[in-house]
Amino acid sequence: MARMLMRGNEALAEAAIRAGCKAFFGYPITPQNEIPGYMAEHLPLRGGVFLQAESEVAAINMVYGAAGAGARVMTSSSSPGISLKQEGISYIAAGELPCVIVNVMRCGPGLGGIHPSQGDYFQAVKGGGHGDYRLIVLAPGSVQEMADLTMLAFELADKWRNPVMILADGTLGQMMEPVEFSAETKSEPVEKPWATTGAVNRKPNVINTLDIVPESLERVNHRLLAKYERIKEEEVRWQAVGVKDADLILVGYGTSARVARSAMEQARRDGLKVGLFRPISLFPFPEKQIRELAKAERQFLVVEMSGGQMVEDVRLAVDGRSPVHFTNRLGGMVPTPEEVLEKVESILEGRGN
């Protein structure tokens, strides 16, 4: 299929349909409205169901029902809406129901604004709702990755019986870039013998998250934690550019990584040894990969559109082996490559922060 120019949100939606998404439940919120718009237009014509729910809360519970019934299902929203979905996400994680949840982040807290942000990092990677659970969190850095990671998200959701979040932001959702779709995904039907499809010639299946016996619920928790450990071993994804000889490694994901990449390229032209490390999976976080890069004579600079969230995970990974610096913009402001470069120069010149 030829490359075509698409908006990030639309590329994501098209990829979901190609990945075999059979149902979409959502509620309007800026800046992700192109996703339900595209789904409403195309999904019913391609064998799926689109339904605009009465609320984010209802939408995520419709996802619970459809996922429990064995369908590939997706919802999308933006930050305040994702907060509303947290209860349902906790239930979905507890019920081990595969689904894809898209967060096209906008700035907060509260109603905040409609401009891009990365303020939901903690919410996405540390749980977000109640109880001990993890989402698999994928952070696209381009329109192409909005498509590719969405397809991957459906596969990982089924593989691990776990909700997968695409953590994008308003910039990635709205920007237009060329995108190419690989040949129609085979989307072979995954066997889901646990799904509630009607108890024909078998005992009834039950999708349930209640367990009032502590000994039993502790076993459930241990089983979930063991799954997350396996996910950490098998599903770490990242991109590293120019890190081998780097005196300073920029770390960023999504839009921040794009800005950092521009700053890195300018720094290299200026003769500065600067690299870029871009986590693609935020859970599991590429902890070992960052640790392996950490050494005394090397510094890190984390670039965020949030108030110091991923930098905590970078510091945990670096574990004191290298200085870790931080730069950010907030409130819907996007850092410029010049700002980042200036920070890089000041660090390398020993002017510190």
Partner 1 sequence: MRVVFEKPEAMTDSPMHYCPGCTHGVIHRLVAEAIDSLGIREQTIGVASVGCSVFAYDYFNVDMQQAAHGRAPAVATGIKRVLPDKMVFTYQGDGDLASIGMGEIVHAAARGENITVIFVNNAIYGMTSGQMAPTTLVGQKTATSPRGRSAAETGYPIRMCELLATLDGPSYLARVSSHDTKHIIQAGRAIKKAFEMQQQNKGFAMVEVLSTCSVNWGMTPAKSMEWLAENMIPYYPLGVYKDITAEEGK
- How many other C-beta atoms can be found within 10 angstroms of the C-beta atom of residue 271? 7
User: Alpha-carbon dihedral of residues 206, 158, 71, 101, nearest 10 degrees?
Assistant: 100
189 φ/ψ angles, rounded to the nearest 5 degrees:
-60, 125
332 neighbors 113 (Cβ within 8 angstroms) = yes
| Residue 86 Cβ vs partner 1, minimum distance, rounded to whole Å | 11
Strands 23-26 and 99-105 turn out to be unpaired
Angle made by CA atoms 245, 140, 182, in degrees to the nearest 5: 105
Contact residues: partner 1, CB under 8 A: 22-23, 25, 49, 51, 53-55, 57-59, 61-71, 73, 87-88, 91, 196-201, 204-210
175 neighbors 334 (Cβ within 8 angstroms) = no
Contacts (Cβ under 8 Å, ≥6 apart) of 152: 138
Closer residue to partner 1, CB minimum distance, 30 or 205: 205
| Residue 62 Cβ vs partner 1, minimum distance, rounded to whole Å | 4
| Residue 84 Cβ vs partner 1, minimum distance, rounded to whole Å | 11
Closer residue to partner 1, CB minimum distance, 24 or 253: 24
| Residue 22 Cβ vs partner 1, minimum distance, rounded to whole Å | 6
**Burial track 285-300 (b if 16+ CB lie within 10 A, e otherwise):** bbbebbeebbeeebbb
**Burial track 18-55 (b if 16+ CB lie within 10 A, e otherwise):** bbbbbbbbbbebbbbbbbbbbbeebbeeeebbbbebee
Q: Which two tokens stand for residue 307?
A: 């108030």
| Residue 238 Cβ vs partner 1, minimum distance, rounded to whole Å | 34
| Residue 57 Cβ vs partner 1, minimum distance, rounded to whole Å | 7
Closer residue to partner 1, CB minimum distance, 212 or 296: 212
| Residue 153 Cβ vs partner 1, minimum distance, rounded to whole Å | 18
Closer residue to partner 1, CB minimum distance, 54 or 319: 54
353 neighbors 345 (Cβ within 8 angstroms) = no
156 φ/ψ angles, rounded to the nearest 5 degrees:
-65, -40
Closer residue to partner 1, CB minimum distance, 128 or 335: 128
Helix (H) / strand (E) element for 39: namely: helix 34-42
Closer residue to partner 1, CB minimum distance, 208 or 353: 208
Closer residue to partner 1, CB minimum distance, 183 or 210: 210
Closer residue to partner 1, CB minimum distance, 72 or 106: 72
| Residue 92 Cβ vs partner 1, minimum distance, rounded to whole Å | 10
